[in-house]
Structure 1
Amino acid sequence: MKFVDEATIRVEAGDGGNGCVSFRREKYIPRGGPDGGDGGDGGTVYLQGDEGLNTLADFRFKRMHRAERGQNGMSRDKTGRKGDNRVVRVPIGTLAYDDDTDELIGEVVKDGETLLVAQGGFHGLGNVRFKSSTNRAPRRSTNGSLGERRFLRLELKVLADVGLLGMPNAGKSSLIRAISAARPRVADYPFTTLHPNLGVVRVDASRSFVMADIPGVIEGAAEGAGLGIQFLKHLSRNRVLLHLLDVAPAEGTVDPVDEFKKVELELEKFSTELAALPRWLVMNKIDLLPDDKREEICDDILQQLSWSGPVFRISALHKKGTSELVYAIMDSLEKQTE
């Protein structure tokens, strides 16, 4: 399964230009001596942060990124032109790994910041470099060195203020559709969401936050089951986690309490730091509960969970209770930045 926030690309730096073997040939100068110039350095490949990008989707279609080779040296002691560098624009927060060794090369964390990922080759030397008092006519030169070549694995941890956590079909996509302009696919079967979706939630003209719709968690996700940790790790940069719970599953299918505990366990197994992030419980699909038993069922679930954190009861489909949730999130985020 390929995610738009993960990509493997090939980067090739330019080779260095070869040195030149040449001798000055000019009328009335019978012993002009060597005049072969050096080659040019090969171009280098860089990653550059671009705040205008927020996914790695484009790399699914363009996987090869090659810098220019250095020009060979020329006669008359002319140095070859240096190869042009290749700058690959990536979203802020992109991590670059060597795909063969799994070594972390670096991370791009600022707009305009560059990260060298493939060093260009060094130029070759022309024969003029080997001239000496004992070797007046050297016929020696060196070739330019090869530029670095590697497969690069790019990973982008979703940069969002709020991350949605929960089992498949808990209503995460429905919630982000209800409160933002994002339009992730919504359907009545599990794993409708196969990659994270970002939505900007505007509270008023000058207040907004970014919410990430993360693919659903299943039991064993921390060990790679289902879609595995490919999406769990994207929650680590969120400031608040909303744990969505389907309080009205189809009769006889699952127990909401068990579903909650499974997700919580996977979260703790994957990362204690991630489990320690502020987490709110959002009880979704309350519109499917009988009116006369709605409060009783919700209170019973809370009692079994021994939940002491913030709780919200909503219907994402009908936008019931979503306004209160949005304002509470905005107030909490603003307090964190004070």
Structure 2
Amino acid sequence: MASSNFVDYVKIHCKSGSGGAGSKHLFRDILTAKGGPDGGDGGRGGHIILRGNAQLWTLLHFKYKKHVKAGHGGGGSKQTSTGKSGEDEYLDVPLGTIARDPETGETLVEITDEGQEYVLIKGGRGGQGNAHFKSSTNQTPRYAQPGEEGEEGWRILELKVLADVGLVGFPNAGKSTLLSVVSAAKPEIANYPFTTLVPNLGIVGYRDDRSFVMADIPGIIEGASEGKGLGTRFLRHIERNSVLLFVIPSDSDDIYKEYEILLGELRAHNPELLDKERLLAITKTDLLDAELIAEIKPDLPNIPYVFISSVAQQGLMELKDLIWKHLNK
């Protein structure tokens, strides 16, 4: 997923279709010169509909399509025939997309399932034909309702990546390297901070053809919840992960302190994140001997942990076992 192709926030203007006008037709045939009203109703205007699509991973296709319009409804006709409904406009979005009202900030819907649909903007109702207005005192009404105008307004679409496991750590902690080793994902890897600028997803193969999805989230820095570094833009992607895997390198000055800073940023962003399962992977341990590992253990946070080396392929199956155990509690 190239950084230039990953879009997780768009603001689009939607306009639904207007309803068709009702018909004022009066019945006529070869034997009837002045019949009663038989005007049909107008068709409804087209809706703007969100639809979940598991094949999409980004909102990129909305980047240059900021205005969306649905079709207008057709007018009613004789013999109480209803007009054709306006063509609906379907907006396919990745699973994990949230639609918000930009004025109130209200969450309108969360699209989490393949094929899930939600009417974002309703089309206008079609007008009633004159057949509806016939009465004992008005046998031949010559009026009908016009169609209802369509609605329009801005909507925000925001993507939160759906993954079983989210990698949480400071920049350059080894998250991208881990993902590249345990899955087929190919994130950009380099020896400088903020190599990862967008979330990367990888499917991790497990025993007996089982698998789970892991997300490499851009690195957190102290103050991220206040907008520093990459800020809260990517913290929201962690909200949908079932398990949070904290990734801290073994050469950190203070593993426990680093963990507490990361935890504090998650707490400041959304306290509910602390309710998720938390695991710890201590990376870059291929240069440690048993004695150094024994010295580190007493100072680790009180959560399940494993020592790994992505480069040396050490501890990776133990890590997968630990993740699978907590995914299936």
| TM class by smaller structure | 0.7 to 0.9
Query: Where does structure 1 lack aligned partners over 5 or more consecutive residues?
Result: none
Pairwise mapping of residues 116-265 of structure 1 onto structure 2 (< 5 A)? 116-135=119-138, 138-248=141-251, 258-265=257-264
Deviation of the 1:80 alpha carbon: 1.6
Q: Distance in 1 between matches of 2:15 and 2:313?
A: 50
Checking the alignment, whether the CA contact within 8 Å between 2:169 and 2:175 is kept in structure 1 is yes
Task: Please tell me whether residue 42 in structure 1 is matched to residue 45 in structure 2.
Answer: yes
Distance 1:31 1:240 in 2: 74
Q: Using the alignment, how far apart are the partners of 1:8 and 1:40 within structure 2?
A: 29
Question: Distance in 2 between the 1:237 and 1:48 partners?
Answer: 19
Q: Distance in 1 between matches of 2:81 and 2:142?
A: 17
Could you tell me which residue of structure 2 aligns to residue 72 of structure 1? Answer: 75
Larger deviation, residues 142-151 vs 46-55: 46-55
Give the distance between the partners of 1:146 and 1:285, measured in 2 at CA: 62
Aligned ranges for residues 252-331 of structure 1 at < 5 Å?
A: 258-287=257-286, 289=287, 295-296=291-292, 302-303=297-298, 305-331=299-325
- With 50-59 and 199-208 compared, the bigger mean Cα shift is at 50-59
Shift of 1:306: 4.6
CA distance in 1, matches of 2:175, 2:35: 79
- Deviation (angstroms), 1:307: 2.0
- SS in structure 2 at match of 1:286: coil
Which whole-Å CA distance do the structure 1 matches of 2:125 and 2:194 have between them?
A: 50
Distance 1:114 1:232, change over 3 A: same
Q: Is the 8 A contact 1:257 1:301 kept in 2?
A: no
Instruction: Output the TM-score relative to the length of structure 2.
Output: 0.85
Query: Alpha-carbon deviation of 1:283?
Result: 1.7
Deviation at 1:214, TM superposition (A): 0.8
What SS does the aligned partner of 2:109 have?
Answer: strand
Across the two proteins, how many residue pairs are aligned to each other? Answer: 326
Write the deviation string for residues 262-318 of structure 1: whole angstroms up to 9, x where unpaired.
21211222233312322222222234x5x56x843x555554x45232222222234
Q: Work out the CA distance in 1 between the residues paired with 2:29 and 2:116.
A: 50
CA distance in 2, matches of 1:140, 1:130: 8
CA contact (8 A) 1:107 1:115 kept: no
**SS of residue paired to 1:315:** coil
Equivalents in 2 of 1:172, 1:50: separation in Å?
28
TM-score (ref. length: structure 1): 0.83
- Percent sequence identity over aligned pairs: 44
Q: Secondary structure of the residue that 1:141 maps to in structure 2?
A: coil
**Offset at residue 178 of structure 1 (A):** 0.8
The residue type paired with residue 308 of structure 2 is I
Could you tell me how far apart the structure 1 residues matched to 2:26 and 2:303 are?
Answer: 82
Maintained 8 Å contact 1:91/1:156: yes
Would the aligned equivalents of 1:244 and 1:281 in 2 still touch at CA under 8 Å? Answer: yes
* CA distance 1:130–1:321, change in 2 (3 Å): same
The alpha-carbon deviation at position 48 of structure 1 amounts to 2.5
Which moved further from structure 2: 22-31 or 198-207?
Answer: 22-31
Give the drift of 1:88. 2.7
Partners of 1:28 and 1:274 in 2: how far apart?
76
Distance (whole Å) between structure 2 residues aligned to residue 273 and residue 22 of structure 1: 61
Separation in 2 of the partners of 1:309 and 1:161? Answer: 18
Q: Contact between 2:126 and 2:148, CA under 8 Å: does it hold in 1?
A: yes
Following superposition, the deviation at residue 42 of structure 1 comes to 0.9
Q: Deviations over 1:83-134 (max 9, x none)?
A: 1223333333332212232121122333333222111101123344444454
Amino acid at match of 1:122: R
Alpha-carbon distance between aligned partners in 1 of 2:161 and 2:169, rounded to the nearest angstrom: 17
